[in-house]
Amino acid sequence: MNVRFLTMLVIVTSLSLIAFRGKVVSTIQTGNLRTELLVNPIGIDASAPRFSWEVTGEQRGIVQQAYQILVASSAADLAAGKADLWNSGKVNSDRSIHVPYAGNPLQSRTEAYWKVKVWTNKGEGAYSSPAKFTVGLMNENDWQAKWTGLDKYFPWDTITKMSRLSARYFRKEFAAPKEVKKATAYISGLGIYELYINGNKIGDQVLAPGPTDYSKTVKYNTFDVTNHVKQGKNAIATTLGNGRFYTMRQQYKPHKWHNFGYPKMLLQLEVEYKDGSKQTVVSDDTWKVTADGPIRTNNEYDGEEYDATKEFPGWNKVGFNDSKWLKAELVEAPGGNVEAQMNENMKVMQILKPVSIKEPSKGVYILDLGQNIAGWIKMNVKGKRGQKVKLRFAESLKPDGQLYMDNLRDALVTDIYTLKGEGVETWAPRFVYHGFRYVEITGYPGKPKAEDFVGEVVYDDMKTIGSFETSDRTINQVYKNAYWGILDNYKGMPVDCPQRDERQPWLGDRFMGAYGESFIFDNSKMYAKWLDDIQESQTPEGSIPDVAPNFWFYYKDGVTWPGTYLKVAEMVYNQFGDVESVRKHYSPMKKWLNYMQDKYMKNYIVTKDSYGDWCVPPEAPHLIHAKDSSRITDPKLLSTATYYHMLQVMKKFANLLGKQEDIKEYDALMANIKSTFNKTYFDSEKKQYGNNTVTANILPLAFNMIPEGASDAVFKNIVDKIMVDNNGHISTGVIGTQWLMRWLTYNGRGDIAYKLASNRTYPSWGYMAGNGATTIWELWNGNTANPRMNSQNHVMLLGDLIVWYYENLGGIKAAEPAFKKVEMKPAMIDGLSYAKASYHSLHGMVKSDWKKNGKTFTWNITVPGNTTAEVYIPAASAEQVTENGKKATAVEGVKFLRMEGDRAVFEVGSGQYQFAGKQ
């Protein structure tokens, strides 16, 4: 039978070792098959890239049965069906994500075009339209370029505790004697760079490349610059800023800071002509350089000073007179392996218009963006040559309307622009970012207006893949605040805050946070890169730092912060199906566990902890940390319970990788730890752990460490502690909050979780929102505590809140990795009348939109193609459930599985469904 499927959609969603998802740039209709093409991965550093695609359509229950991938070295060959690189043949499989390349070896600079065809239970599809990828410079001998720079400072620079170093400008002219067929630029500009060809900025990235421990790894970016290189004379130029390479604080706590030296670059421009000949332009000592340009200083903590009177028009174009510039120098390489950057660069992702501008004192103006952001201000200004406009940034205001600066420590957070006096001048900094809502403007010619400014929001160029809304206004506001706090702190790595003199990639902040974030953003590539950062920061003995890359030398050897290494690997596997990251990092993760066991485990108790249950709500409004011992959980209890959970995670990984001997080892150690842990910390009479804090009890509950028959009593202690001792408010810090919301719900008290989520009194997330927060605070009492540690843009206190939003309120949870199977089980909570959530998984879009009215429950869901879902519908029996007005038990493709408590559980395939149930 000839089966036509008119609406089947195959979406090519990803390629490369870690680049799971691309960006849609066009939609093409080809016969009965529609394919959405992606931004082409360029310069990938992978000999065996992986291919993914989505299959969906209007039919229900679509299941892929086979696929065929064709990869060719030219678009013409691919169109003709000539797969000279790889023809997978017809493979009988339902696998549609991370299919590894298995063709002819891919060489540096290879261009490859690919397409996929699928067979499903609904019929055979046509081939998709093609997508393209290119391979970067994978071998050291591919690089002819030399590390180039200028290892000196200038009279206007200062090399002190508060170092200030001007930007370096490099240029070179070259001739392209023939008609250009193709031109590709490879660049690593450290700390951060801008690249120009014939006056045109290349790419829309900012603050690139991504930060690393440059002594271990250096990232380069690749650009197709064919349209910028022309026959005849050309100019190529770069500007280098300091970034994380030239340390922002010199001679300042030298035991703490990692310093790499002066800015430098590695640049290679490869030109191929239409006659087949080639030319390579490289960074070396034939370039010219100056630091006497308009960017007089650039420092992530302190700001950027730009003097437009020092501009040199045409400096990045042909014909500029650079006779007074210095000769560039060959400099020492930074030491790290040069690798293609596989995670997204940062860019300006959103533009915000100010909501107001006020003048609290004469000549001092305060601009309000209405939202705490990370980025900068872009300004229009007109005035006389030499006039200076100063911009200072802060998250909040003092009662008198002036900036509140105390919580920024010694970060100066000041941009200064000196006018050139030539009409309307538009300026934004290039090599810094600020965390702020408010901007103090002084020195502005005339009276500034709000329309003279916009806020440019900067974070990693990753796609927003989740949405969430409920009937509760507090939950919705907290979700919005979390969304902004998360994106503000994506800076090529997850940092703790964007505003003060810190901005470090603390591991502990993301132990559970990365999991929640993955429902909102496609953070898969950034977190896969961060796993590499963590591994590269591991000592030969096995110690994992608290900050990675280790820009700060913090090796305190706890469990709860370094354990994030394992939890992030678990997240990218569960959420995105990334087995390779687990495989890659398994050995160093095991090495860390062995190190901690050998050095700190005494009689199966882990004796080392660094931070305790960090930031529990303190007993007094001015305190940063609680001093009341009844609020503080035993650090050894925390570290031992968490170590036990790390073994659970490693057992899961060992099973995935087929390491049976390791599983036996983990089981034996877990049994001994559990027995000793309970003998040491469990009070069998009171049915409590330690001093009965919520954290002390919820960790063994979440990790299944409680003796048989005692779980209900332990959980009752948790409930009593929250509802009686703490009057229905949160009492956990960073560690306990990672498990709190879900385990309350799993144990039948979703109502308590809802109360904690919807509270607006102290301490709560709603209290932050009610007191003007537009992001998440570092402290529950961030508006009253000592300003030394009250960042107003942190994410660590979110714990498992975002996971709870999606999995337990929205009802979207991965039952199998990458949502190959979806569990849809929303909690029914009095006071919440609806919730709707969506999540674009690697297999496709999942949607859940439920409402309840009395005992009637209605639920619209969408299940992606090539997946199945178990849906838990509130109903007294399966007969009480309808689908699109018909009895669900009689609808084709809707399979009743069982009753589970007050839920009727059905299995469905892909498609859209409308369920209704009655209790």
pLDDT digits (tens, 9 = 90+) for 33-62: 233 333 346 767 777 899 999 997 788 999
Distance between CA 840 and CA 520 in Å, rounded?
A: 9
pLDDT of amino acid 257: 82
**Average pLDDT rounded to a whole number, residues 391-398:** 97
Mean pLDDT of 136-158: 95
* pLDDT mean over 425-433: 98
Gap between the Cα atoms of 597 and 644, Å rounded: 11
- Within 13 Å of residue 670, how many CA atoms lie on the same side as its CB? 20
CA distance 701 to 817: 24
Instruction: Give yes or no: residues 745 and 769 share one domain.
Output: yes
- Which two three-digit tokens encode residue 334? 């930074």
- Whether 294 and 315 have beta carbons less than 8 Å apart is answered as no
Looking at 458, 486, 520, the residue that finishes a domain is 458
- Token pair 């700060």: residue: 552
HSE at residue 471, side-chain half, CA atoms within 13 A, is 14
Q: Smallest Cα–Cα separation from 66: which of 10, 104, 13?
A: 10
Give ∠ CA 746-748-754 in degrees, rounded to 5.
Answer: 85
Q: Exposed, middle or buried, 260 (CB in 10 Å: 0-12/13-18/19+)?
A: buried
| Domain identity same for 179 and 204 | yes
Mean pLDDT of 631-657: 98
**CATH code of the domain in which 18 resides:** 2.60.40.10
Element (H, E) at 637: helix 635-657
Whole-angstrom Cα distance, residue 633 to residue 695? 7
- Model confidence at 621, pLDDT cuts 50, 70, 90, reads confident
If DSSP codes are grouped into helix, strand and coil, which group holds residue 362?
A: coil
DSSP character at residue 175: E
Retrieve residue 824's tokens.
Answer: 């849809």
Judge residue 304's burial from the number of C-beta atoms within 10 Å of its C-beta, 0-12 exposed, 13-18 middle, 19 or more buried: buried
Burial of residue 731 (CB within 10 Å: 0-12, 13-18, 19+) is buried
Residue 349's H or E segment, with its range, is strand 346-352
Neighbours of 141 (CB within 10 A): 7
Contact 115, 130 (CB under 8 A): yes
Q: How many whole angstroms separate alpha carbon 674 and alpha carbon 680?
A: 10
Are 338 and 355 contained in the same domain? no
Give domain status of residue 664, yes or no: yes
Give Cα 11 to chain centroid, integer Å: 23
Residues 370 and 339 in one domain: no
Give the span between the Cα atoms of 796 and 693, in whole angstroms.
20
Q: What share of the chain is helix, strand, coil (3-state, %, to 5)?
A: 25, 35, 45
How far is residue 432 from each of residues 8, 156, 213, 273, measured CA to CA in Å?
46, 19, 19, 38
CA-based torsion, 316, 321, 325, 327: positive or negative: positive
Mention every residue, 6+ apart, whose C-beta is less than 8 A from residue 471. 832, 833, 834, 835
- CA 140, chain centre distance (Å): 30
Residue 667 lies inside a defined structural domain of this protein: yes
Instruction: Please check whether residues 844 and 772 belong to one and the same domain.
Output: no
109-123, 124-138, 252-266, 578-592, range with greatest mean pLDDT:
578-592
Range 677-682 contact pairs with CB under 8 angstroms and sequence separation of 24 or more: 677/604, 677/605, 677/637, 677/640, 677/641, 677/644, 677/705, 678/705, 678/706, 678/707, 680/605, 681/634, 681/637, 681/640, 682/706, 682/707, 682/710
**Strand 868-874 and strand 821-824: pairing?**
parallel
Instruction: Enter the pTM of the model.
Output: 0.95
Is residue 247 domain-shared with residue 259, that is, in the same domain?
yes
Which residues have a Cβ under 8 Å from the Cβ of 663 and sit 6 or more positions away? Answer: 651, 654, 655
Q: What pLDDT was estimated at residue 154? A: 95
Residues with active-site annotation: 502, 778
Burial code (b: 16+ CB inside 10 Å, e: under 16) for 838-865 equals bbbbbbbebbbbbebeeeebebebbbbb
Strand, helix or coil for residue 454: strand
Neighbours of 918 (CB within 10 A): 16
Domain around 883: 814-918
pLDDT averaged over every residue in the chain: 93
Burial class (CB in 10 A: 0-12, 13-18, 19+), 140: exposed
Q: Is residue 1 part of a domain?
A: no
- Domain holding 677: CATH number? 1.50.10.10
**According to the model, what pLDDT value does residue 337 have?**
96
Gap between the Cα atoms of 558 and 560, Å rounded = 6
The verdict on 310 and 362 lying in the same domain is: no
Task: Give a yes or no: residue 72 inside a domain.
Answer: yes
Q: What are the tokens at 674?
A: 């559990």
Going by C-beta distance under 8 Å and a sequence separation of 6 or more, which residues neighbour residue 602?
A: none
Measured from the Cβ of residue 599, the count of other Cβ atoms closer than 10 Å reads 14
Please report, for the domain that includes residue 837, its CATH number. 2.60.420.10
pLDDT in the model for residue 16: 35
Q: How confident is the model at residue 32 (pLDDT cuts 50, 70, 90)?
A: very low
Instruction: Tell how strand 111-120 and strand 123-124 pair up.
Output: antiparallel
Q: Give the dihedral of Cα atoms 98, 104, 106, 111; nearest 10 deg.
A: -90
Q: For residue 703, what are its two tokens?
A: 């990790």
Q: Which tokens hold the place of 772?
A: 């003007």
- Rounded to whole angstroms, the Cα distance separating 246 from 301 reads 12
User: Rounded mean pLDDT of 678-704?
Assistant: 98
Please say whether the beta carbons of 337 and 143 come within 8 A: no
**CB atoms near residue 56 (< 10 Å):** 22
pLDDT of residue 855: 87
User: Are 584 and 728 part of one and the same domain?
Assistant: yes
Q: Which residues pair with 123 in a beta bridge?
A: 120
* Rounded Cα–Cα distance for residues 234 and 173 (Å): 6
pLDDT band at 788 (very low <50, low <70, confident <90, very high): confident
pLDDT at 23: 27
Residue at 540 is within a domain? yes
Q: Which residue type, as a one-letter code, is found at position 350?
A: Q
2 within domain boundaries? no
Domain termination residue (choose one: 783, 810, 837): 810
pLDDT of residue 160 exceeding 80: yes
Q: Is 710 helix (H, G, I), strand (E, B) or coil?
A: coil
Examine the domain organization and report whether 580 and 704 are in the same domain.
yes
Q: Number of H helices and number of E strands within the chain?
A: 15, 53
CATH number for the domain harbouring residue 446: 2.60.120.260
Could you tell me the pLDDT band of residue 254, with boundaries at 50, 70 and 90?
Answer: low
Q: Where is average pLDDT lowest: 25-29, 47-51, 153-157, 431-435? A: 25-29
Count: domains in the chain:
5
Tell me the per-residue pLDDT of 471-525, one tens digit each, with 9 for 90 and over.
Answer: 999 999 999 999 999 999 999 999 999 999 999 999 999 999 999 999 999 999 9
Final residue in a domain of this structure, among 134, 152, 174: 134
Q: What number of other Cβ atoms are within 10 A of residue 350's Cβ?
A: 14
Q: Which tokens go with 521?
A: 């953003």
Same domain, 321 and 382: no
Same domain (yes/no): 234, 333: yes
Q: Residue 18 pLDDT more than 70?
A: no
For residue 694, the model assigns a pLDDT of 98
- Identify whether 170 is part of a domain: yes
CA angle (221, 843, 121) in 5-degree steps: 135
Pairing relationship of beta strands 813-814 and 821-824 according to DSSP bridges: antiparallel
Determine the Cα–Cα distance for residues 95 and 363; give it in Å rounded to an integer: 64
% of the chain with per-residue pLDDT over 70: 95
Q: Which two tokens stand for residue 554?
A: 């913090």
> Is the model's pLDDT at 25 over the cut of 70?
no
Contact, 114 vs 78, CB < 8 A? yes
Q: 499 and 568 share a domain?
A: yes
Q: Say what the pLDDT of residue 843 is.
A: 95
Which is more confident, 621 or 581? 581
Residue the block writes with tokens 């919807």:
758
Report residue 17's pLDDT band, with 50, 70 and 90 as the boundaries: very low
Q: Count other C-beta atoms under 10 Å from residue 479's C-beta.
A: 23
CA 199 – CA 386 distance, rounded (Å): 25
Give per-residue pLDDT as tens, 525-564: 999 999 999 999 999 999 999 999 999 999 999 999 999 9
pLDDT score of 540:
98
